[in-house]
C-alpha cells in the first residue's frame, strides 16, 4: 500500500509527538524493539527467504549468509551491548579526553542521546540485511536507529516488491507502531519524504540519487549518511602464474560452484528486473566489450538470467568499467607489474573497499599508505564485514558516514558534552578589569603550566611584555 500525502503527514506528526514523549529514550523500550526485530527474523525466516527468492532469485543459503544470519549477529551484539553503549563516558583524569588538572572540583562526561525522527531509505539488492560489496540494507541501520532511541520512518526499495511488502505488512506487528513506520512507494514517495524535515537521513543507493538526497537535506541542514557503493577493485598478486592459467582456474571453480548449467543449478541469483537486465545486456553487447569475453556471456531475458561472465582487459573507457555492475560479470585488468596497481587504483574514484590478495609486505604497506578507500582487506573479501568492531562506510564518491555494531549506534546518536563545575572554585582572572597579572595567569593556564600559575600568584614571575603590548 502506497501512502497519500495526507496520510503520511498525519503519521509523521504522530511519530514526532511520540518521540517528544521521551518513551523511546528508555532502555526498556530499546530492548523491546531489538527483541521484536529478533523475533521477526526467527519467526518469519521462511517468508523472508521466499521473498528474497521471489525478488532476487537468491538461494536460501545465500540469503541466510548475506541477510538473515548477519542481521541475527548484529542484533545479538546490539542487545548484549546496549546498556554499555547508552552509558555516558565520564571524562576524568584517566581518560584520553581528560579534563586538565586546573579544572579543580570539575567533572565532565559524554552522553549519547537520540537524534530524533530519522529517515532510512534502503536499496533493492540486499532488502533486509547488507553485504560488504554494496549498500543493500533496511534492517541493519534500523537496529542502530532504535538502539540509539530514535523513531524511524523506513522506505524499502520498490524494485524488490515482495520484500518491501513483507517489511511493510509484517514487520510492524513486531515493533512499536507509534515509533516505527514502513512506507512503500516509488520515486514520487521518495520525493515526498525528502521534502520533510528530519533529524537524520540514512540513504543507500546510487551517487545520482545521493546528490538529490544531499540537496534536499541541505534545505533543513539535516545530517546524512550516504552509502553509495561504486567499484571495488580486487588486486590479485600472481607472482608466477600466467593470466591464462588464472582464468582457467576461475572457469574450473565457476563450474564447481554453479555446475555445468548454472541456470538450472538453482544456486545463482537472478537480475532484479527487466530494466536492470537490459542495462547489463547493453553493457555486455558493446562490441568492444564483447571482444573481451573469455567465459560465459549467455543470457535469458525471460528468466532474468545472466551466466557468470569473465572479461579480460575490456576497454577502460567502456561503460562497464565506469559504473557499478550489479551482475555476475567480472572484468579483469592485467598490469605489467603488480606495483602498478597502486597508480591504477588511484586513477579511479575512491572505492568502497579494496581487496588485495598478496603476500608481499611491501605492497601491503603501499596499499595502506598510498591508497584511499572505505576499507582495505588483505587476502579476503568479507572479513571486515563480519567484524562488528570495524566500521563500514565509504569515502569520497562512494559515500560517507559509517555503521556496523557500535558505529551504527553512534551514527544515530548525538554525543553531548556535559561539564559540571563546583561553586567552590572559579577562574576569576577570566573577567575584566584586565591587568598584566591576569594576562600572565591566562598564559600559564592555557599552557597548563601549573608551576607558572603558582609563581604568578606568589608574585615571583614577571611578564616580559607590557599590558599595552598585550593589547596591540
Give pLDDT tens digits for 24-63. 999 999 999 999 999 999 999 999 999 999 988 889 998 8
Domain residue spans of the chain: 5-229+403-416, 234-388, 426-471
- pLDDT score at 467: 60
In this predicted structure, the answer to whether residue 435 has a pLDDT above a threshold of 80 is yes
The fold of 5-229+403-416 is Aldehyde Dehydrogenase; Chain A, domain 1 (3.40.605)
Report whether CATH 3.40.50.9100 matches the domain 234-388: no
- Going by C-alpha positions, the residue among 130, 179, 172 that lies closest to residue 153 is 179
- Span 277-336, pLDDT tens digits: 999 999 999 999 999 999 999 999 999 999 999 999 999 999 999 888 989 999 999 998
Look-up of cell digits 555494531: 405
pLDDT surpasses 50 at 182: yes
Nine-digit cell string for 66: 548475506
Asked if the peptide bond before residue 370 counts as cis, ω within 30 degrees of 0, the response is: no
Q: What's the pLDDT score for residue 133? A: 31
What does the DSSP assignment read for 219-263?
HTT--EEEE------EEE--SS--HHHHHHHHHHHHHHHH-S-GG
Q: Cell triple for residue 352?
A: 568502497
- CA pair distance 251, 245, nearest whole angstrom: 10
Amino acid at each position: 500500500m502506497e501512502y497519500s500525502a495526507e496520510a503520511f503527514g498525519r503519521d509523521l506528526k504522530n511519530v514526532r509527538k511520540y518521540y517528544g514523549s521521551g518513551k523511546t529514550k528508555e532502555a526498556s523500550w530499546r530492548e523491546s524493539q531489538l527483541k521484536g526485530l529478533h523475533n521477526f527474523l526467527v519467526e518469519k525466516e521462511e517468508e523472508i527467504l521466499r521473498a528474497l527468492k521471489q525478488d532476487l532469485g537468491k538461494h536460501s543459503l545465500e540469503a541466510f549468509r548475506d541477510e538473515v544470519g548477519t542481521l541475527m549477529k548484529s542484533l545479538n551484539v546490539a542487545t548484549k551491548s546496549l546498556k554499555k553503549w547508552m552509558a555516558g563516558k565520564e571524562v576524568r583524569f584517566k581518560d584520553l579526553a581528560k579534563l586538565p588538572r586546573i579544572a579543580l572540583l570539575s567533572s565532565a562526561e559524554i552522553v549519547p542521546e537520540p537524534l530524533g525522527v530519522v529517515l532510512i531509505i534502503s536499496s533493492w539488492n540486499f532488502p533486509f540485511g547488507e553485504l560488504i560489496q554494496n549498500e543493500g540494507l533496511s534492517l541493519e541501520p534500523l537496529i542502530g536507529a532504535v538502539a540509539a532511541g530514535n523513531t524511524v520512518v523506513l522506505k524499502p526499495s520498490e524494485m524488490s516488491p515482495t520484500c518491501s511488502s513483507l517489511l511493510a505488512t509484517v514487520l510492524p506487528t513486531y515493533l512499536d507502531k507509534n515509533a516505527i513506520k514502513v512506507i512503500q512507494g516509488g520515486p514520487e514517495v521518495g520525493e515526498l519524504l525528502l521534502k520533510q524535515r528530519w533529524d537524520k537521513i540514512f540513504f543507500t543507493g546510487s551517487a545520482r540519487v545521493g546528490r538529490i538526497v544531499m540537496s534536499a537535506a541541505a534545505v533543513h541542514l539535516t545530517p546524512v549518511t550516504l552509502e553509495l557503493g561504486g567499484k571495488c577493485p580486487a588486486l590479485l598478486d600472481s607472482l608466477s602464474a600466467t593470466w591464462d592459467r588464472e582464468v582457467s582456474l576461475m572457469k574450473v571453480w565457476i563450474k564447481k560452484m554453479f555446475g555445468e548449467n548454472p541456470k538450472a543449478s538453482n544456486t545463482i541469483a537472478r537480475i532484479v528486473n527487466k530494466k536492470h537486465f537490459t542495462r547489463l545486456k547493453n553493457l555486455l553487447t558493446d562490441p568492444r566489450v564483447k571482444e573481451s569475453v573469455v567465459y560465459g556471456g549467455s543470457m535469458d531475458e525471460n528468466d532474468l538470467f545472466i551466466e557468470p561472465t569473465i572479461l579480460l582487459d575490456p576497454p577502460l573507457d567502456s561503460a562497464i568499467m565506469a559504473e557499478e555492475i550489479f551482475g555476475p560479470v567480472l572484468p579483469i585488468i592485467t598490469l605489467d607489474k603488480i606495483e602498478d596497481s597502486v597508480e591504477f587504483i588511484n586513477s579511479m574514484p575512491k572505492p568502497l573497499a579494496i581487496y588485495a590478495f598478496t603476500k608481499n609486505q611491501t605492497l601491503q604497506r603501499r596499499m595502506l599508505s598510498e591508497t584511499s578507500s572505505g576499507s582495505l582487506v588483505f587476502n579476503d573479501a568479507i572479513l571486515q564485514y563480519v567484524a562488528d568492531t570495524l566500521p563500514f562506510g565509504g569515502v569520497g564518491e562512494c559515500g560517507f558516514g559509517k555503521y556496523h555494531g557500535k558505529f551504527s549506534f553512534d551514527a544515530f546518536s548525538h554525543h553531548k558534552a556535559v561539564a559540571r563545575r563546583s561553586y567552590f572554585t572559579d577562574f576569576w582572572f577570566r573577567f575584566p578589569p584586565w591587568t598584566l597579572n591576569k594576562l600572565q595567569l591566562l598564559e600559564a593556564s592555557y599552557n597548563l603550566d601549573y608551576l607558572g600559575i603558582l609563581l604568578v600568584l606568589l608574585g615571583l614571575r614577571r611578564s616580559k611584555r607590557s599590558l599595552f603590548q598585550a593589547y596591540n
